Structure 1
């Protein structure tokens, strides 16, 4: 995955949606390593989304945050197998809405020097998961 002495930026992201209401949220956190210092953390309320829409929103919003901060090289970690593997080109993207999100990812990716995508288990993505869950709870209140 990463070298023990990695020095750079990691972006963790997550997304969530309630299927009954199509209300969702996403969260993204860029970290500076070594030290795991949070650069910024943002949560977003989303409407009319599926879980995969919300996951892509976390990825896209996080990359936009990184660009705003002038970050050129980034390692992106998330627990969304669909978003990560579609962005890596490992699995097909057949849903039109997700195809648009994937195209947006490709455009953002080209603005970086390098982007590395890593799928992680949910327990290794707890900060982004917590941010996303709390944001959704606020949106439902």
Structure 2
């Protein structure tokens, strides 16, 4: 089964209060079948983007996806995943490595950059996540 994920991360301050949003569609369906918004400990916007990607990939695997297309408005992350840009930040390197590991679990997987307005639901969810309380440890 193919899933289309829209992911976004938000950080108010950089680093600062952060959240993630992910919306899940089954290929060919007009409405998402699942969404999530979560608060993160203070982090950078780029780390929040990667965390949203990781959370979405984990959920897609749990929901039985064999193929995934991730749509993100983070051009940096999409180009890093595609191998067009290097990952220089030591904070992002483990997140990048985990993303590549998870992407390899799918029969087909790609991460594509979309314009911000094409990612509005994930953006809204990420901003909702920023406002949530931090989960208890």
Matches within 5 A, 1:36-47: 36-47=30-41
Q: 2:113 aligns with which of 116, 119, 122?
A: 119
Q: What is the match of residue 62 of structure 1?
A: 56
The runs of 5 or more residues in structure 1 that have no matched partner are 1-6
Contact 2:11/2:18 (8 A) holds in 1: yes
How big is the alpha-carbon RMSD for the aligned residues of Structure 1 and Structure 2?
A: 1.7
Contact 1:56/1:83 (8 A) holds in 2: yes
Count of residues in correspondence between the two structures: 134
Take 1:21 and 1:115, find their aligned partners in 2: how far apart are those partners? Answer: 30
Take 2:66 and 2:2, find their aligned partners in 1: how far apart are those partners? Answer: 10
Take 1:67 and 1:52, find their aligned partners in 2: how far apart are those partners? Answer: 23
Deviations along 1:55-111, one digit per CA (max 9) or x if unpaired, are 001111000010000101011100011111111111010111101100000110111
The runs of 5 or more residues in structure 2 that have no matched partner are none
Q: What is the match of residue 94 of structure 1?
A: 88
Query: Structure 2 vs 1, CA of residues 89 and 62 (structure 1 numbering), >3 Å: closer, same or farther?
Result: same
Contact 1:11/1:31 (8 A) holds in 2: yes
Structure in which a larger fraction of residues adopt strand: 2
Take 1:101 and 1:94, find their aligned partners in 2: how far apart are those partners? Answer: 12
1:108 counterpart = 2:102: yes
Query: Structure 2 vs 1, CA of residues 32 and 57 (structure 1 numbering), >3 Å: closer, same or farther?
Result: same
Q: What is the match of residue 67 of structure 2?
A: 73
Instruction: Please list every run of at least 4 consecutive aligned residues from structure 1 whose deviation after the TM superposition is greater than 6 angstroms.
Output: none
What TM-score comes out, normalization by structure 1 length?
0.88
Structure number with higher relative contact order (C-alpha < 8 Å, ≥ 6 residues apart): 2
